[in-house]
A and B are shown apart, each in its own frame.
Chain A
Amino acid sequence: MTTPKFTLALLALIAAAAVPWLGQPYLTRLATSVLILGIAATSLNIVVGYGGLVSFGHAAFLGIGAYTVGILGLAGLHSGFLGMPAAVAAAALAAFLIGGLSLRATGVFFIMITLAFAQMLYYAVIAAVPIGGDNGLRLDPVTFGSRVSLNQQTSLYYVSLVSLVAALYLCRRLVLSRFGRVLRGIKDNERRMISLGFFAYRYKLAAFVIAGGLGGFAGALFANLDAYASPELIHWTMSGDMLVMLILGGVGTLAGPVLGAAAFQLLQEVISSYTKHWMLFFGPLLLLIVLVSNRGVLGLVFREARRDG
């Protein structure tokens, strides 16, 4: 297990664990949101990277996770032991319904349908006055027992860090398992896998549901970070942003989504410190990245490195 990659990951983990010790609340908050976005992008990567299914509606699951925590809070239930699993379950159920319908179609159809269903949820939420409508829903961060509350920045940071590591571990195990091999087989040649006797639809749906559940978990963490369930989490640009993170880091790689999330957040911070029209520069940059490389910035860097060495 002492490959260079493993050593690198360990060093990154130690560095990440040290962030709250710097005692800079702004930095810790930024790092927390990178971690949570990393979880969200990792969950999307299961569908897009390994399943080859371009889902443009992943924000729906973030939103459902966040609003589950918020609605339980309205009912006076603030325990994280209840809230977090409930968020995962609700998002997975939604993924089962949305995926069950969307996966009947393929290609461009699938992209448009997932986008449309997520946007349906967005419109439903902003029209639903009892859960705050377009103002969103204020909430109290959940607590784990009497000692740990995600109200505290440091607790939330470490919970997010541990969750991200667990999510990456889960993703790796999933990809290397028989299930993951079948899934990648379907991505490469669906017709052949069906001829071999695999129910491609069921495998794709299972991947979609797992990704949705994990997305719900990330959404619940977001709700705790902001003490607020925002309709913006469901907005379709959020789905787009997560896809952008994948392409920035590298689709279908384990570390890609996390690095992509960090790169995305960093780019946003840097460009918007110069101008408020950050998308004016980011949009063309994105187009350029897509045109130059389809293996992400990471892929580009590693390819260059390999050429040099």
Chain B
Amino acid sequence: MSLALLLEQVLNGIQLGVMLFLMAAGLTLIFGILNFISLVHGSLYMLGAFFAASVYGWTNDFVVSAVLAVLGTFAVGIVLDVVAFRRLYMRSHLDQVLGTFGLLLFFNDLTLLIWGAEPHFIAMPQFLSGSVPLVAGSRYPIYRLAITGAGLAVAAALYVLIMRVRLGMLIRAAASNRQMLGGLGINVRRLILLVFGLSAAMAGFAGVMTGPLVAVQVGMGDAILITAFVVVVIGGIGSVRGAFLSALLVGLVDTMGRALLPHWLGYSAGPAVASMSIYLLMAVVLLLRPAGLFAAGRA
């Protein structure tokens, strides 16, 4: 395998990792504060992509459709919290899984009803299409670099929000003791509402950004939801920093596995093993560090 191809795969892996982080960060925030597991997160990713596809169909403007899609998923997150999640926080994990499973089935079928079964496509924005030179005459698409950068910017903003801003301090406080925070006169319910909206918007953003690279279709959120779970498990539940490092690790392992393993193991066994690689990684982490790699510091 040439250096150019290797470098390209590394960049692809980082790009996948950044998108996974946008999903996993929301999941781990929600879990850290509420001890709540949501299966709807993949649906928000899917909705983000579909919203963007529709708005793009009307306006032909990628930026406008991205912004509206992220606002749309933010709103869906708020509505979900008011209608359903609020009543599920205090319940058992089984109830949370089943309740959000019901919502996931609903969203999949609703999307099928509105947008149909055939895949939709979002065109890349004009100013981000094309490619830049990499090493040895090979080239790399600007769009992938751009979404990696956008994802990293969101990650940095999230870091600043959580660690440097009053709102983030309240979020961290809610994660360590929700009742106490309420007792100090903070409107915890509104804070949680905001966190749900925020995590929904991040999932939607990931969906929008990935949209031009893949076929936008029903069920696209389910696969990435489970991969995001793997990220959360490896990173350590409740740790946003852990989610970031683990997302990059999972993105790289998955991409490199798919690129390299068929070379090494042949084209019949290679793809099968490659599709298992991140789960095997998870198994190894569980053997060595059952609480995840970066579970030490929460928040």
Contacts and interface: CB of A to CB of B under 8 A. Distances in A.
A283 B272 CA distance: 33
Given A108-B35, A116-B229, A280 B92 contact: no
Contacts of B95: 247, 290, 294
B93 A287 contact: no
Interface string B200-244: 000000000000000000000010001001101100010000000
B109 to A, nearest CB: 4
Given A124-B272, A129-B268, A113 B102 contact: no
A240 B84 CA distance: 19
A244 B104 CA distance: 13
Contacts of B93: 54, 107-108, 111
A236 interface: yes
Contacts of A278: 109
A294 B92 contact: yes
A244 B105 CA distance: 12
Interface in B23-75: 31, 35, 37
Interface string A273-284: 000011110111
Interface residues of B, number: 46
The interface residues of chain B, by DSSP majority, are classed as: helix
Contacts of A277: 109, 112-113
B268 A284 contact: no
A111 B98 contact: no
A123 B232 CA distance: 20
Interface in A102-153: 102, 104-105, 107-109, 111-113, 115-117, 119-120, 123-124, 127-130
Interface in B243-299: 268, 271-272, 275-276, 279-280, 282-283, 286-287, 290-291
Interface of B: 31, 35, 37, 84, 87-88, 91-95, 97-99, 101-110, 112-113, 222, 226, 229-230, 232-233, 237, 268, 271-272, 275-276, 279-280, 282-283, 286-287, 290-291
Given A280-B109, A290-B98, A291-B88, 11 more contacts: A48-B94, A104-B287, A108-B31, A108-B93, A116-B230, A127-B271, A243-B98, A244-B98, A277-B109, A280-B110, A291-B84
